[in-house]
Structure 1
């Protein structure tokens, strides 16, 4: 981005919108910010003193607008973005803006990009930890919280970038050095319109790679890599790796894609041991896949093997991702509120042998039959919350008819406390009570973090009740 005065409209006054506006003002652009929320616009009032215009609820760009930078959640069919397209005005996202600013700098950063339906935040966090263990000036950014624009402005040398399908949709020239698609399952189909369009957005992470990483155990990841990547292919697998893969054997994470210097090894080279399975503190096979993907991206830029073990050991996962809230009477209570779709819920349930499942919320059109069919043998009971209970209840009747199912009306006061109390009544020693909703949270909560906090508070309150106060087990 040059410092000449382009006229730019920033659509959305949230965190990424603020960062985009600040970066554009620094580069001499004439900036207008719009948002449907006048409260959010008011929070940017200091930008007005720097020359920005703050205009609520625009439905078309101001005259002579050269560029629109949209927040990722804005749908392509929103009136403002439709009007911009009709006027021939380019629309990009904050990630694309960050990329262009970075490419125009004298010392552009190395971009290691992570996308997928599930596991993005954990993988990016692991990657950041491994890179820092190698002494690299790296930061996790993008969909993980820190806007990529801010990471670029701070001058970090390597960016571990989490990318949602929305962010990729609005990225026109982004070409990460290395990219990975961890997995793909039905999600956000209401936004993209189809699974094919959703996958095509994810596939943009492979554009321009020098190395592309895919998950050999996920068919969609394999297919998207074959379709969208022209780069050298590296795969991760939960099994014994062949040449060109990272995998697991005898309790070790092994690398057969890079040698000890991060280069391509000879075909008969001995595997490089990166870490022990015990170095991955997060439970579940899916987190081994996340760890392998993080190591593959790090190794693609020459990170030594010893940094992988140290970085994985030092990594602390984000909240509401397989968080053990409490353990009492042999029952463990697990907050996986981040499981906002069936694919994520499958990973959460698969980490335990016996489960009382708390599920439900906004399914966003996702199918739950396969989730229930796959995990029916481990279910001891299901307690349903939220607005879209019927599809889950019907799937349970079809594939787990012996499993007791109790639904709690979403409008019920203290619904989460009632759900935990019922789950406790069904649980026996050796059981996990798992909040893995398989659905979004906005029908009852601000976001998945709010839902997770409510679960944590409910668990602590219910466990503090006298034993005689526990609910009797309902009749199935």
Structure 2
């Protein structure tokens, strides 16, 4: 790790009088536009869409004196000195090329929030404990917030989940900005990190790295580099996955504050400066007085629900960040014990005729689906949707021994079918030639026909949902409804 000083926040005054273009009229764009306008910036919001939803939001902004331009997201408004982009806008967008030509800086809403941090009652802005990774970000961030609350700290899980960060750092109406929290648990996507060059968290974790969003980033190297930005400027700990060497490489490449440490987490017995598992206990050999010879018990494996291997890894990463902040072991145990995961993340729906039905609709890529499949045996696997450029050979090869059968649906199901034919030719496959929302009910009926008592029917699609559903939540709800219908006959 390279060492660099922590950079101070720039403050609200830096935006006063600026001519700012906000790219995108979604949730983060609305938050940024309103906040910057309140701080005295001259704001114009641009968006390539011009549908009913965009017009409704534009009407809200117009009532607040904020200009909008719909149907043209490529042209830079004259005089723009700063562009604040919503996370989904690609780096190669013409708007950003125009900004570069005009000498205008391009940043995201996370960077704006970082620059707007203000001192709380203790004299310093609330530190950020940051989490990223291909999978597990939301669960780990929410686990971390649960642990921090158990320690009596004022905190919230924010960033890529919940309330926009700008709103968090500025505070609500009548609330002193920055005074509401002692520390923040911050989930950050690769998109957000790409546009946050000044971010310098207290401590941060990269949970794992697997190919995802490569159409946006352009390459796996660029995707990894954006994930690695989360480590830059860390003051206390860079937390990495000892089972994923790519995450440790990101630590080695990071510019950090003097004294910052690399802390690993592992599902095996931990070495010095690691957290890990000994028998049925989660233990800490990083934040103890003598890490060469001693370990501190933090929690039992049974305190983590569900106790699937990848979720134990999430718990260890959350515990590492909390320990880096000085949280005592008892609060780690209590925070994990009281945490409840969000819906559609390895959620047991029901048992019908001796078969367990599990909803992991959030498994929208191959890495997440592999983790889910690894927690069950034998499995009737329901998969398919939008592949987003994914290749399924490794997933099928590593999971073949667990599969009783597979039921495929969605636009790109043929890619999974081909991988099954190559690497699991003896596994029965039901290929549903339909992409309507009613296909899920048929998929569940087919899975029930193929399953045997003691099996798990697992929805772990390894694909995005938007070919058939609004999002992964709607897909998971459709699965659960079909299972309940099956149960009632």
**What range describes the TM-score normalised by the shorter chain of this pair?**
over 0.9
Aligned pair in 2 of structure 1 residues 337, 294: CA closer, same or farther (>3 Å)? same
Q: Would you say the 8 A contact 1:60–1:81 is kept in 2?
A: no
Alignment of 1:115-126 (within 5 A): 115-126=132-143
Q: Would you say the 8 A contact 1:18–1:44 is kept in 2?
A: no
Write the distance in 2 (CA, Å) between the matches of 1:321 and 1:19.
Answer: 28
Tell me by how many angstroms 1:410 deviates.
3.1
Q: Which runs of 4+ in 1 moved over 6 A?
A: none
Match of 2:479 among 440, 444, 455: 455
Tell me by how many angstroms 1:122 deviates.
0.4
Write the distance in 1 (CA, Å) between the matches of 2:319 and 2:129.
Answer: 11
Q: Would you say the 8 A contact 1:112–1:177 is kept in 2?
A: yes
Q: Would you say the 8 A contact 2:85–2:109 is kept in 1?
A: yes
Question: TM-score, normalising length from structure 1?
Answer: 0.94
SS, match of residue 209 in structure 1? coil
Alignment of 1:131-210 (within 5 A): 131-154=148-171, 155=178, 156-210=181-235
2:113 aligned with 1:113: no
Deviation string for 1:383-406 (max 9, x for gaps)?
111111122111111111110011
2:313 aligned with 1:301: no
Tell me by how many angstroms 1:4 deviates.
2.2
Residue in structure 2 matched with residue 23 of structure 1 by the alignment: 35
Match of 1:338 among 356, 359, 362: 362
Residue in structure 2 matched with residue 420 of structure 1 by the alignment: 444
Tell me by how many angstroms 1:221 deviates.
1.3
SS, match of residue 443 in structure 2? helix
Aligned pair in 2 of structure 1 residues 24, 412: CA closer, same or farther (>3 Å)? closer
Residue in structure 1 matched with residue 374 of structure 2 by the alignment: 350
CA RMSD across the alignment: 1.5
Aligned pair in 2 of structure 1 residues 134, 391: CA closer, same or farther (>3 Å)? same
Deviation string for 1:40-90 (max 9, x for gaps)?
342353332332112113322211111111110111122222222222211
Q: Would you say the 8 A contact 1:336–1:434 is kept in 2?
A: yes
Match of 2:468 among 444, 453, 458: 444
Write the distance in 2 (CA, Å) between the matches of 1:61 and 1:161.
Answer: 31
Tell me by how many angstroms 1:25 deviates.
1.7
Q: Which runs of 5+ in 1 are unaligned?
A: 260-264, 466-476
Alignment of 1:339-378 (within 5 A): 339-378=363-402
Match of 2:304 among 277, 280, 288: 280
Residue in structure 1 matched with residue 98 of structure 2 by the alignment: 83
Aligned pair in 2 of structure 1 residues 306, 44: CA closer, same or farther (>3 Å)? farther
Residue in structure 1 matched with residue 263 of structure 2 by the alignment: 234
Write the distance in 1 (CA, Å) between the matches of 2:373 and 2:272.
Answer: 32
* Residues matched between the structures, number: 460
Residue in structure 1 matched with residue 240 of structure 2 by the alignment: 214
Residue in structure 1 matched with residue 4 of structure 2 by the alignment: none
Tell me by how many angstroms 1:269 deviates.
4.8
Residue in structure 2 matched with residue 67 of structure 1 by the alignment: 82
Q: Would you say the 8 A contact 1:30–1:51 is kept in 2?
A: no
Write the distance in 2 (CA, Å) between the matches of 1:137 and 1:306.
Answer: 17
Q: Would you say the 8 A contact 1:25–1:50 is kept in 2?
A: no
Residue in structure 2 matched with residue 258 of structure 1 by the alignment: 287
Write the distance in 1 (CA, Å) between the matches of 2:468 and 2:352.
Answer: 28
Q: Would you say the 8 A contact 2:301–2:307 is kept in 1?
A: no
Q: Would you say the 8 A contact 2:276–2:284 is kept in 1?
A: yes
Aligned pair in 2 of structure 1 residues 173, 452: CA closer, same or farther (>3 Å)? same
Write the distance in 2 (CA, Å) between the matches of 1:422 and 1:128.
Answer: 40
Match of 1:97 among 85, 103, 112: 112
Deviation string for 1:13-35 (max 9, x for gaps)?
11111111121122111111122
Alignment of 1:361-400 (within 5 A): 361-400=385-424
Larger mean Cα displacement after TM superposition, 299-308 or 101-110: 101-110
Residue in structure 1 matched with residue 6 of structure 2 by the alignment: none
Residue in structure 2 matched with residue 470 of structure 1 by the alignment: none
Write the distance in 2 (CA, Å) between the matches of 1:56 and 1:244.
Answer: 52
Q: Which runs of 5+ in 2 are unaligned?
A: 1-11, 172-177
Question: TM-score, normalising length from structure 2?
Answer: 0.91
Match of 2:66 among 49, 52, 55: 52
Q: Would you say the 8 A contact 2:409–2:435 is kept in 1?
A: no
Write the distance in 2 (CA, Å) between the matches of 1:205 and 1:413.
Answer: 38
Write the distance in 2 (CA, Å) between the matches of 1:232 and 1:246.
Answer: 13
Write the distance in 1 (CA, Å) between the matches of 2:90 and 2:119.
Answer: 28
Deviation string for 1:445-476 (max 9, x for gaps)?
111111111111121122222xxxxxxxxxxx
Write the distance in 1 (CA, Å) between the matches of 2:80 and 2:57.
Answer: 24
Tell me by how many angstroms 1:412 deviates.
4.6
Write the distance in 2 (CA, Å) between the matches of 1:84 and 1:334.
Answer: 47
2:23 aligned with 1:11: yes
